[in-house]
């Protein structure tokens, strides 16, 4: 990992989309928790793949198929290193975090969870880490239980953990970083605790893996899912890490080509993991583009990126605290690179509509966190989320626009 501070301005210049006017103002893109922008390195890789190497993978004999296969499998190797998996056989390509979690709920949960078992989630989970478990609970008779959060500050109430970790709990599934609160959860500590109790663990790393170094062996989880598009890669590609022991006795997720050894009219034998879980022609270009994104991030250094994101979020938080009639969500210190807030008497959607007219892209809504919104007693929040290409002056611009908005609505 490089030790010197990256040249952030040079990195920003790698993102052609950021250099444009929106509604007559320079674009200030602060919706990175929804999706990140893509650097030229990724765009160029996709272009090169389709212009030079495109072919179907794995069974081809010809040159282009060999190139495509090699590049696709190199992406798997890269993903394994990116999260320090023991082997690339623990890396399954998916469409994204959501499909990764659904895969675990169907293949692992479908086989191992029974009526009376408990799935332990947290109140800050994204819908993608709630709904697949609700569907599984309906099928299996398992029940859901939630680790509560501590009000607006949005930390997990760990004092309650021991009483929740009863012997019925078979799975702990939680997010590494909350997409609404910016809370960084102590996943290694929680997964270690789960493991000593024989509880399988899953980490939703959608908001973390592109922002800070993630090591699945240090975390000690059984499963970890993330998406490519939030970490400078293309949409429609993601990774599910699954510990080898879990994969060994997991039945297939979907059936089809690519995942079989032999197929007879009435009986099929399946490939070993990870290919057993990748039915059909995969998202080849997506995986190759993701490879370029992961290389790009690690060339900058994810430890540096996290420090940069955190500094911007902390600065934004300090500026927001100065507003009157504001409610800010998430931890006061140590937050990840985002901040959610509400201005009294200004609905988040009105705020975001007006900010957009000033070229500032924010998000307003429930952020796929409806249960969390209910817990906080709000319908929605406005959110600014940062990445390494954002600057302090963009935070200043965001604050200036917010002051205008508060004035306009007389709030």
Smallest distance, Å, CB 347 to other proteins? 4
Smallest distance, Å, CB 393 to other proteins? 22
Closest to other proteins by CB, 318 vs 404, is 404
- The residue range among 84-92, 228-236, 243-251, 358-366 that interacts with other proteins, by the rule CB under 8 A, is 358-366
Residue 344 in contact with other proteins, rule: CB under 8 A: no
Smallest distance, Å, CB 32 to other proteins? 20
Q: How far apart are CA 371 and CA 124, in angstroms?
A: 8
Q: Please tell me whether residue 240 adopts helix, strand or coil conformation.
A: strand
Smallest distance, Å, CB 150 to other proteins? 23
What residues from 93 to 132 belong to the interface with other proteins (CB under 8 A)?
Answer: none
Residue 354 in contact with other proteins, rule: CB under 8 A: yes
Q: Strand 238-242 and strand 91-94: pairing?
A: antiparallel
Residue 349 in contact with other proteins, rule: CB under 8 A: yes
Residue 373 in contact with other proteins, rule: CB under 8 A: yes
Residue 364 in contact with other proteins, rule: CB under 8 A: yes
- The residue range among 84-92, 188-196, 227-235, 352-360 that interacts with other proteins, by the rule CB under 8 A, is 352-360
Residue 379 in contact with other proteins, rule: CB under 8 A: yes
Residue 63 in contact with other proteins, rule: CB under 8 A: no
Smallest distance, Å, CB 377 to other proteins? 11
Residue 134 in contact with other proteins, rule: CB under 8 A: no
SS3 annotation, 127-189: HHHCHHHHHHHHHHCCEEEEECECHHHCCECHHHHHHHCCCCEEEEEEECECCCCCCECCHHH
* Rg of the chain (C-alpha set): 22
253 forms bridges with which residues in the sheet?
A: none
Which of 116, 112, 221 is closest to 173 using CA atoms? 221
Smallest distance, Å, CB 24 to other proteins? 7
Alpha helix (H) residue ranges in 22-112: 40-48, 63-82, 97-103, 110-112
Smallest distance, Å, CB 291 to other proteins? 34
Residue 160 in contact with other proteins, rule: CB under 8 A: no
- The residue range among 122-130, 321-329, 339-347, 387-395 that interacts with other proteins, by the rule CB under 8 A, is 339-347
**Cα atoms found within 13 Å of the Cα of residue 252, Cβ hemisphere only:** 19
Instruction: Quickly count: other Cβ atoms within 10 Å of residue 358's Cβ.
Output: 19
Q: How far apart are CA 295 and CA 87, in angstroms?
A: 18
Would you call 368 a catalytic residue per the annotation?
Answer: yes
N- to C-terminal Cα distance for the chain? Answer: 47
Q: How far apart are CA 149 and CA 178, in angstroms?
A: 11
Q: Which of 63, 168, 400, 404 binds other proteins (CB under 8 A)?
A: 404
239 forms bridges with which residues in the sheet?
A: 93, 226
Distances (CA, A) of 186 to 31, 41, 97, 190, 218: 25, 33, 20, 6, 12
**Catalytic residue (one of 191, 221, 232, 368):** 368
Residue 171 in contact with other proteins, rule: CB under 8 A: no
Residue 400 in contact with other proteins, rule: CB under 8 A: no
Residue 347 in contact with other proteins, rule: CB under 8 A: yes
Sign of CA dihedral 247, 253, 258, 261: positive
Residue 215 in contact with other proteins, rule: CB under 8 A: no
Residue 23 in contact with other proteins, rule: CB under 8 A: yes
# binding residues, other proteins (CB under 8 A): 22
Residue 353 in contact with other proteins, rule: CB under 8 A: yes
Query: Angle, to 10 degrees, between the axis of helix 302-321 and the axis of helix 284-300?
Result: 80
Closest to other proteins by CB, 77 vs 350, is 350
Q: How far apart are CA 196 and CA 329, in angstroms?
A: 33
**Which residues belong to the active site?**
368
Kindly list the residues in this chain that would bind other proteins in the complex (CB under 8 A): 23-24, 345-350, 353-354, 357, 364-366, 370, 373, 379-380, 404, 408-410
């Amino acid at each position: 990992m490089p030790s010197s501070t990256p040249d952030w301005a040079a990195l920003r210049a790698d993102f052609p989309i950021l250099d444009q006017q929106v509604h007559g103002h320079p674009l200030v893109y602060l919706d990175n928790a929804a999706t990140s922008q893509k650097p030229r390195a990724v765009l160029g890789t996709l272009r090169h793949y389709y212009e030079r190497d495109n072919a179907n993978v794995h069974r081809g004999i010809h040159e282009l198929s060999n190139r495509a296969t090699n590049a696709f499998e190199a992406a798997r190797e890269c993903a394994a290193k990116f999260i320090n998996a023991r082997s690339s056989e623990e890396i399954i390509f998916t469409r994204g975090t959501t499909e990764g979690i659904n895969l675990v709920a169907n293949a692992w949960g479908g086989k191992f969870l029974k009526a009376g078992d408990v799935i332990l989630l947290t109140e800050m989970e994204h819908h993608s880490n709630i709904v697949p478990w609700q569907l599984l609970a309906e099928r299996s008779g398992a029940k859901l239980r939630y680790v509560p959060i501590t009000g607006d500050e949005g930390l997990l109430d760990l004092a309650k953990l021991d009483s929740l970790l009863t012997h019925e709990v078979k799975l702990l599934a939680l997010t590494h970083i909350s997409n609404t609160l910016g809370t960084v959860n102590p996943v290694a500590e929680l997964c270690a605790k789960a493991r000593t109790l024989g509880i399988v663990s899953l980490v939703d790393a959608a908001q973390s893996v592109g922002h800070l170094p993630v090591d699945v062996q240090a975390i000690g989880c059984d499963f970890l899912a993330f998406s490519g598009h939030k970490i400078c890669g293309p949409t429609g590609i993601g990774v599910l890490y699954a510990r080898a022991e879990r994969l060994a006795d997991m039945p297939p997720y979907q059936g089809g080509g690519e995942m079989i050894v032999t197929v007879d009219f009435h009986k099929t034998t399946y490939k070993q993991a990870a290919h057993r879980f990748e039915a059909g022609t995969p998202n080849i270009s997506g995986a190759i583009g993701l490879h370029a994104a992961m290389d790009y991030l690690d060339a900058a250094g994810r430890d540096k990126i996290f420090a940069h994101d955190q500094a911007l979020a902390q600065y934004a938080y300090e500026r927001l605290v100065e507003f009157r009639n504001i409610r800010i969500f998430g931890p006061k210190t140590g937050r990840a690179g985002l901040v959610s807030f509400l201005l009294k008497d200004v609905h988040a959607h009105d705020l975001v509509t007006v900010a957009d007219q000033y070229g500032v892209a924010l998000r307003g809504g429930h952020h796929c966190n409806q249960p969390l919104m209910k817990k906080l007693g709000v319908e929605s929040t406005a959110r600014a989320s940062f990445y390494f290409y954002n600057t302090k002056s963009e935070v200043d611009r965001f604050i200036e626009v917010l002051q205008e908005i508060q004035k306009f609505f007389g709030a």
